Structure 1
Amino acid sequence: MRVQVKYRSGRLDVFDTDSYTPAQPFGDGCMLADYEVRFDRLEKGLWLQAHFYDADPRFKEDLDDGVVPVGRRSMGWRFLLAEEAELKEVEQVLVDGDRMLVRMGEGLVDVMRLDGASALLLSDGGGPSLASKLQGVVEALKAADPTMDDEAAAALAGSNWESLAWARELQPLRQIEVEGEEEGWMDHEDD
């Protein structure tokens, strides 16, 4: 993971979890690392938390045949990327090239949350919102199989009934009517 913190002064801090550190900073048993950039706790600064999943061979002992051993999550380290006082000068924060925080006026906007909310509420990159997409897929599934209820169709669409109900309340699906559409409009007359 690469985290870039850009400041108003032109300063740029780059934190790279892959460079200049051992391949396995948590030891030989580390099979998976979990990195969290904590945008939810900015009042205390910008933190990166690193945890690891230990694949200790002892976890395989006394297992029945066919049972997959579990790699246990272990607490790692916290790293302060920007102190609380420095946050007033941060222009933006990028994670792997994606803008995650951006300054608007005197505050920082969590772009990831904003994008998620706009995708649900408004639009996802100029297309329909996720709420509309979910409703459209559910309606298409129900049209293909009239015996299917909302709950079954929502499950096939990767959702549940509660999320579908929330999407319907948030943004009712609208049918687009095309004015002046005539029957046979695709027929071409040969002259």
Structure 2
Amino acid sequence: MADEPLSTLTLAQVLGVPTELVQQALEELADFYDRTGRGFELRHLAGGWRYWTREEHADVITRAVLQGQQARLSQAALETLAVVAYLQPISRARMSAVRGVNVDGVVRTLVAREMIEEAGQDPVTGATVFRTTDTFLQRLGLQSLDQLPDLAPHLPDASALEAELGQLAAVPRTSGTDPAAGQLPDDPTTENQEQP
């Protein structure tokens, strides 16, 4: 009847039995469901136990239960959610800086869907920071954030990134360049600037 995962301790308290007995029974049930090929499984995730539709039946169950009413997250929401998941706790300003766009509307959506929540204030700036919720873990089928995939294989090679940054930082040289000043004397954008 629970609408969220229940911990072994909670189940033990409700049943009035030792937690070790409950843990053993849950593990045996999960194993039994796996061996007998049930349409559901018992998973330990987000700090508790919950029944879960087996992956191979998920599409059929989703269509039957939701009948097309499921609202999917937009690409912008998914990207922002990934930023929060990997960099939490994080402020709106930092999310915007990472994504390169304003995220205020997306943050409101993710909070409304209980995928992220406020997690206090940044000690330096005083800005509200956000973190993912247990709902986020449940939707992804994770027990903890430690199970998020490693980002390293998806990042560019350090030498390739260094080369690209080097190209961006390169200043074009002409015969009239004064290397000590770091400016081109013919550059019209520097002629009328006040010198400190």
TM-score relative to the length of structure 2: 0.25
Higher-strand-fraction structure: 1
- Structure number, greater radius of gyration: 2
The structure in which a higher percent of residues are helix is 2
